[in-house]
Structures are given as structure tokens and as C-alpha cells.
A and B are shown apart, each in its own frame.
Chain A
Amino acid sequence: MAEFGPTVLRVVRAVLGPADADDAWSETFLAALRAYPQLPAGANVEAWLVTIAHRKAVDVTRAAARHAVPVADPPETGAEADLPDLDLVAAVAALPPKQRQAVAYHYLTGLPYAEIAEILGGSADAARRAAADGIAALRRTIGANR
């Protein structure tokens, strides 16, 4: 399980942004530790962890929506300042949730769309389309900014 620590951190940063990522990572691995003895032998641990991370991220987003007023533009300084490609990070943050999740789960972990469909609900084709739409949107945004 420890080997997937970096991957899960990458995913929650992409899905939630850097501010909430640490908490989501911690809650994901604590929940995984609690449930680990019930995990069937031979299960795909990475897919299982991303599934838990997805649920934690949804919880965090819902909690944030209850407490905060949405900000129109992602901030360009502060916590994200040391990230290398602000355009791309901001563009990912601006994607609709399902596209952002599909892109993160497929391109940052390499999970197949069948697994991603299990996580997001819906079909593998729908997950593939969401990722493709997300990537197309990222290309447009970045192309327009450069």
C-alpha cells in the first residue's frame, strides 16, 4: 500500500488542489488502513485506494461548498506558486468535476477506463469520453494562453 502514496497524493492534488490534498491523502490512507483486513486477496490495491480518495475528495468538495463562496478564478499565487506549470494546473482546476476526475484517474495513475467507470459510476465509454473531453479542454485552454 505504501508504494501508492505518491500516486494518491498526485491524484488528490489534481482533483482538489494543493490546499485540501494533504487532508484528503491522510483520510484516504487512514480509511484504507481501517478497511485493509477486509480487502480480498488479489484485489487491485491502486484502484481501491483511488476509489477511497475519490470519495474523500467528494466529501471535501461538498463540505467546502457548504462553507465557502465559490471563487471565479483560481488564485495565481500562494499555495500553487511553486508548482511548475501554473497554466496547466489552473486549467485542470477549471475543468468540470467529472472531466477532472476522469483525467486525473486515467492520466495520473494509468487505471483503465473500466476501473474508472466503477469509481465514477456510468460506463467505461462514458469515463473515456469524459477524459477525452477534459484533455481537449485542457489543450484549448493552454493553447489560448500561450
Chain B
Amino acid sequence: MDLSELLAIAEHENAMRRPICIRCCTALGCQSAGSLSLKQRLEEAVAEIDRTDIEVIGVGCMGLCGHGPLVQVDPEGVLYEHVHAADAPSIVAALDGGEATAPHGDPHHPFFTLQKRVVLENSGIIDPERIESYIAAGGYQALYRVLHDMTPAEVIDVVTRSGLRGRGGAGYPTGLKWATVAKSHGDRKYVVCNADEGDPGAFMDRSIIESDPHKILEGMAIAAYAVGADQGYVYVRAEYPLAIQRLQRAIAQARRLGLLGAQIFDAGFTFRIDIRVGAGAFVCGEETALMASIEGRRGQPRPRPPYPAESGLWGRPTLINNVETFANIPPIIRNGAEWFASIGAETSRGTKVFALTGKIRHTGLIEVPMGVTLRQIVEDMGGGVPEGRVKAVQTGGPSGGCIPAALLDTPVDYESLQRVGSIMGSGGMVVMDDATNMVDVAHFYIEFCKDESCGKCIPCRAGTAQMLHMLDLVRAGQATAADLARLEQLCVMVKETSLCGLGQSAPNPVLSTLKYFREEYEALVRG
């Protein structure tokens, strides 16, 4: 494969396109609502009227998952929501002036217009099951450029200057991490994509993989070239069968075209990717636990240092980045570090994908520039809560905190969210209305962390169990004010002494609800 062959594939693909394109979402949410049979009915309806200027393609996530199945018709961009298979003929007939029986969506709603799509640029546009569709959208050209026109050091320099920070939650500067792995010595190096999206209420990584799997592969290959790795692993949750299937297909397609494997683009660069399927352990999202799991062992973390960048998989230098981080790489190479750095906020460059869920009118997947406020996301884009008022927004899953409605004007960036007692996290954003009891929410998260504690270190194993016990007492009305103080003390102890991120952040939901919704605890306390 060389550049002219790549461009020829793109050209051929674009020449095959028809003037009118009916895009039907085939990501998990819409599939569960019947979009596969809908797509088939649409194809049949087009065939029946014998129109060769119309095509029906299955695409990835269009974002508004709560209103699925979604169908969009180009070039006009007409959006249909809650489409049933029975609506298919009328949607096709509407192209000739008929009236579609499916409800119209509003593509000019702030839910769509306030987005800035970098990671999701192809999501809902291309067919995720065909590599040609990705190539036609400019795919794998960034990899070609990197292999032929840039040295590994230049690639790392671009990523560093872009200001990209890890999207898995901690926000470590990506360029710095790459530079460390590149500098480390080892007979072999590895690149690992962390797709173990365990935070309940988060589905960004699942959607990205289901909608644009090749982008991850291209990002990983660019990273491998930059750090000098020849083997990659995608560690993905077993709970995501569709994502695994699309990833497997994408790897096979890329291998067939010589875009993965030996001698990629005849540049003397070899890179292979294998999938490792998790087996249901939240702690495996922690990088040292994840590596243990790839090695076929129990997913238990170990102390750092040594960091994976120096001693990772099988003791060799290993680069671990999150799905969304890798997905940012091809656009950064394509458009330059300055372009990326011009998006977003001072210390948090670029965009962030959020899974907006809970008690909110428009649930789904959004990508916004860093620095927009929670209020813009929840009220403008999400349309607010269906009944009652917003009480709190939970970000960062079990490691994050609950941000009260009074602080909705907080901008979404790593530092601001940390200042109000939460974290950016991987991107789950759960909206809670005033019917939600915050003590119950804290209990929910602690129960989760207690179950998911791997049991290796005592502060986490015993601490989360004790925290849960104390929350049980509070809920049963058997706790005293002194117990609340003890609970707070215990939280601080677990936070400061646990081995890994799970235990260190497990108390956050309790601490943040104690801070902002203390009256709800006090109302339950005896005397």
C-alpha cells in the first residue's frame, strides 16, 4: 500500500456515493431500539421505487441516543427520531414531497449546534464496518504522513505542543507520556488502548469504537511509531460485544490492506494489534491492574513507580492511553498542534466527549470544547430535567463527585472540576433532579466501590466496607452526629492511604455530597 493506492480507494469510494444518502444509526442504543430491521426496511423501500440516486448506509452514533432509532437524510440534513421500521416507506416517499410518519428532530437544536466535533467527526457520518468509508473521509493519511515525513521526535513534539491531556480521567499530558516511553529502553515496547470503560453512566468509548473504530487503530499506530513499539493491545470490556465485533472487523480489514502488520506503507514500520477482552472487573481500568489482566492474571494494581512507561507489560516500556486520547491523534497530525491548541480552555485544550444521562430531556453523546459551562451542557444542550429542577450533576463516575445546581456555571476543564470536589473523569455526566436523595446516591457509589475493590490493600478493602456500613446506619436513622464526623475522617483516610486510584477516589461521592448536601445527612441523624 502506498499513498496513491490509498487515495485511489478514497476516490473510488466517493465516486460510488449517491446524491441522496439516508443515514441510519446502527450503534448499540439505536440497535436495541430496532434500527437493524429499520435499515433493512429503508433499503427495501428504496429498491421498490427503483431510485438509483438514493443510498442507505448504516452509521455510528448520531448522539441523541434517548430519541432513537435516528435517521438523517442528506443533503438536506432532515432528522427523524423514534423511527419504526413501519415508517421506512414514508421516509423514502418524503423525498418526493410526501409526509413522513416519523417525528421530525431538530438538527438546529443547541444539542447539536453547541458541539465541536473532533473525536466524533466521523461518528454518525461514515459506515464503521467498512474501512473504505473511513479512508474516503481522509483516514490513514495522518499515519502515512507520520511514517514518511516525520521523525518520531517530531510526532511527539506535535502532540506535546497541542496540549492534549489524557482523556481517561487523570489528565496527564499525553506528549510527556509519549516522550517518557520513547526514552525508555527495552528490547520491545507496547502500546495499549484502555477501552475498559467501567464507570457506570459512561459510554463515550463504546460509542467511539462502534462509530469509528479505524480512528483508534490509526491513533495507536501513530503512537507506536512515535514511541518505538511494534505490538498493541486494545483492552475492551466484555460487556461491549458490538464494540468488540467492530474492532475485530476493523483490525482484519486494516491488516488486509497492509495498514497494520509488517512494512506499513513500505516505511519499515511494523505494528500489530490484538484485542484483549476484559471479564468484568472495574479495577482493570487502573493501568497496572489492566496490564496484569492482559498478562492473564488477576486484575490487581501494584504500586507506582515504576510507571508503565518504564516497566509495563512483561516488564517492558508500555504506553497506555484511553480510547478518546488515541482518537484525538489523527486530527492533531492532520490539522497541526496550533489548530488543536486553539480549541478549548487555558490548561485544557481541545474537546471532551460526554455521555449525558440521568434525569435529562435529551440523553446522549456530546462533544464540546473544554471550558463550556455545566449549565450550557445541562440546560441548553440537554434541555434540563423533564420534571422539577436540576439538583446536582455527577461527573467522573464512582471516582467523581456531585456538583450542586448552584455551581452549574463551573466551566468544564480539569482544574475547575477538581476545585469543586469532582473530577473530569472519563466523561460520564449524570443529571439528578430534586427527587433524588443524595445519601442514596453516595450509598450507591460506595456499594459499587466496595464490590469492585480488588482486596489487595486494606484501606480500600476494609475502608469501603466500613463506609458502606456507616451509610447504612445513616439511612436507617441510627447514626449520630459523631458518626458523620467519623465517616468524614474515614473518607480522608481511605483517600490518602489507598494503593490505587479506585480507593483514592472512592470517597469522593461521599465527601462531595457531605460538603454540598450535608442537610440531607443531618436530617437522618439521631439527636
Instruction: Answer yes or no: do A and B interact.
Output: no
Which residues does A use to contact B, with CB under 8 Å? none
